[in-house]
Amino acid sequence: MDGGALAGRVVAGDRRALAQAITLVESTRPADRGPALDLVEAAAAAGRKGLRVGLTGTPGVGKSSFIETLGLMLTGRGSRVAVLAVDPSSPVSGGSILGDKTRMPGLARDPLAFIRPSPSGMVPGGVARRSREVVALCEAAGFDVVLIETVGVGQGEGLVAELSDILVLLMAPAGGDELQGVKRGIMERADLILVNKADGVLQPVAERTRADYAAALGLLRRRAEDAAGFPAVACVSAATGAGVGEAWAQVEALAMWRRDNGFLDSRRARQARLWFETGVREGLVAAALARPGLRAAIERLGAEVAAGQTSPDRASLQILQAMTGV
Ligand SMILES: Nc1nc2c(ncn2[C@@H]2O[C@H](COP(=O)(O)OP(=O)(O)OP(=O)(O)O)[C@@H](O)[C@H]2O)c(=O)[nH]1
Ligand SMILES: [Mg+2]
C-alpha cells in the first residue's frame, strides 16, 4: 500500500481512509511497517495539532459515559472529536470493551465524532506505541480534540500520560478509607481529578471525596508544567452533565497556559524522545530473543535457578555473556 497517497486522503478528511490508515498502523505484519511509517510522516507534514486529552480511571468509574457527555457537548459547539481506546492490559483476553460504542450511542452516530475501539491481540508495549501514531493520524485528519480512554490499572495510566497533553483522572465517590487506596503515581501525573457520579444519593459523598482529594493534592509538589491552581479537583456527573462544561473549561485553560508557556511543545518533545527510546529498547530485546537457542537457554537456566542449582545473578550474567561475547 502507498502510505503517502493514503495520507493525502486522511488529511482531506476521508473517514474511510482514516479507518484504513489506523488499521495499517496497527498491523503487526512486518511488511506493513514501512508504508505505515510513510503514512504517519506524510500525515504529520500537514502540521495540524489537536488537543490530546487522556482519560483514566478504574473500570466502571464512568470514562465512556463521561466521554459521551463531553464529546456531545464539544460536537454541539462544532468541534470535531476523535475517541480512542488504549488497553495495554489485555492482549490475552482479546476483545476489549474499552471504547465500546454502546456506551457512547450519541457520539457513535455523530458525524463530527470518530470512535476507534481498542485494538486487540497486540503486545502491551506495541499497543501504546501504535496508539501514539493513531493519535497523530486523528490530528492530521482534522480532529480538534482527541480523547484517549484507558483503564487505570497496570501500565495503562503511565502510558496514557505519555500520549496526552492533559491527563484527566476519573474517580468514584468513596469514603475516606478507600481514598488511601489511590495510587500515588497517578495522583502525581493527573492534571485534573474529576469525581464522577456526583448525582442523586452519591452527591454528598462525591463532594466529601472532592474535598479529601483536594487536601491530598495540596500535599503534592507542584510541577513546572502546572498552571496556578493545578492539579485541580472537581465533581462531575456524566449522567446528568453537571460540572462537565466547567471541567472542560479547566482543561482548556490549562492547555492554553501550557501552550503559551511552551510546555505543550516541551511535553510532546519529551514524549517523542521517550517513545523512541522505548522503541529501541523493545526492538533490541525482541531481536536478542530471536537469536537461535537463546529462549531455550533462558528456559533451561530459569529451571536451574528455580531449583536452587544456580543463582539468579550468575544465570543472567551467563546469558548476557553468551550474547555479547564478553
Ligand atoms: N449515577 C451515575 N452513574 C454513572 C455515571 N457515569 C457512568 N455511570 C454508570 O457507571 C457504569 C459504568 O460506566 P462506563 O462509562 O461504562 O464506565 P467506564 O469507566 O468506561 O468502564 P470501563 O470501560 O469498563 O472501564 C454504567 O452503568 C454507567 O451508567 C454518572 O455520572 N452517574
Ligand atoms: Mg469504557
Per-residue confidence (pLDDT) for residue 118, from 0 to 100: 73
Probe target for ligand 1 pocket from 56, 65, 98, 169, with the most ligand atoms within 8 Å of CB: 65
Q: Whose CA is nearest to atom 9 of ligand 1?
A: 62
Which residues are placed with Cβ below 5 angstroms of ligand 2, an ion? Answer: 63-64
Q: How confident is the model at residue 120 (pLDDT cuts 50, 70, 90)?
A: low
- pLDDT > 90 in the chain, percent: 63
| pLDDT for 73 beyond 90 | yes
238 lines ligand 1 (CB under 6 A): yes
Taking residue 203's Cβ as centre, other Cβ atoms within 10 Å add up to: 16
CA 125, distance to chain mean position in Å, is: 12
Cβ(196) – ligand 1 distance below 6 Å: yes
Look at residue 101 in the predicted model and tell me its pLDDT. 67
Ligand nearest to the CA of 68: 1
Give 199 or 87, the one with higher predicted confidence: 199
Longest dimension (CA), the chain: 67
DSSP 212-281: HHHHHHHTSPPPTTPPTT-SEEEE--TTT-TTHHHHHHHHHHHHHHHHHTTHHHHHHHHHHHHHHHHHHH
Task: Give the ligand 1 atom nearest the CA of 57.
Answer: 19
Indicate if the pLDDT at residue 92 is higher than 50: no
Phi, psi of 160 (to 5 degrees): -70, -30
Q: How far is the CA of 60 from the centre of ligand 2 (A)?
A: 7
When pLDDT is averaged across residues 156-180 and rounded to a whole number, the result is 80
The pLDDT of residue 93 is 44
CA distance 313 to 97: 41
Residue with the larger pLDDT of the pair 323 and 203: 203
Tell me, what's the pLDDT at 309?
A: 96
Say what the pLDDT of residue 63 is.
93
Counting beta carbons within 10 angstroms of the beta carbon of residue 16, is it exposed (0 to 12), middle (13 to 18) or buried (19 or more)?
exposed
pLDDT digits (tens, 9 = 90+) for 295-315: 899 999 999 999 999 999 999
pLDDT at residue 176 tops 70: no
Q: How confident is the model at residue 95 (pLDDT cuts 50, 70, 90)?
A: very low
Euclidean distance between CA atoms 225 and 266, whole angstroms: 10
Nearest protein Cα to ligand 1, atom 7: 62
Q: Is residue 204's pLDDT more than 50?
A: yes
Ligand 1 atom with the smallest distance to the CA of 99 is 23
By alpha-carbon position, which residue is closest to atom 2 of ligand 1? 197
Q: How far is the CA of 105 from the centre of ligand 2 (A)?
A: 12
* Tens-place pLDDT, residues 137-150: 999 999 999 999 98
* Average pLDDT over every residue of 42-53: 95
3-state helix, strand, coil in the chain (%, to 5): 55, 10, 35
Residue-wise pLDDT tens digits, 289-299:
888 888 899 99
Phi, psi of 172 (to 5 degrees): -95, 150
Q: What is the pLDDT of residue 257?
A: 97
Rounded to an integer, the average pLDDT of 199-221 is: 89
User: Are 26 and 140 spatial neighbours (Cβ–Cβ below 8 Å)?
Assistant: no
**Residue 182 neighbours by CB distance under 10 Å:** 19
DSSP label at 29? -
**CB-based contacts of 203, cutoff 8 Å, min separation 6:** 235
Q: Does the Cβ of 150 fall within 6 Å of ligand 1? A: no
Q: Which three cell numbers stand for residue 192?
A: 485534573
Q: Is the pLDDT of residue 7 over 90?
A: yes
Q: What is the pLDDT of residue 102?
A: 76
Residue 193 exposed, middle or buried by CB count within 10 Å (0-12, 13-18, 19+)? buried
Residue 274 has pLDDT above 70, yes or no: yes
Three-state helix/strand/coil letters over 176-225? HHHHCCCCHHHHHHCCEEEECCCCHHHHHHHHHHHHHHHHHHHCCCCCCC
**Of 223 and 167, more confident:** 167
Atom of ligand 1 nearest to the CA of 98: 23
Which pLDDT tens digit goes with each residue over 247-257? 999 999 999 99
Going by C-alpha positions, the residue among 287, 253, 279, 268 that lies closest to residue 130 is: 279
* Whether the CB of 168 sits within 6 Å of ligand 1: no
Confidence of residue 155 (pLDDT cuts 50, 70, 90): low
Structure confidence at residue 126 (pLDDT)? 63
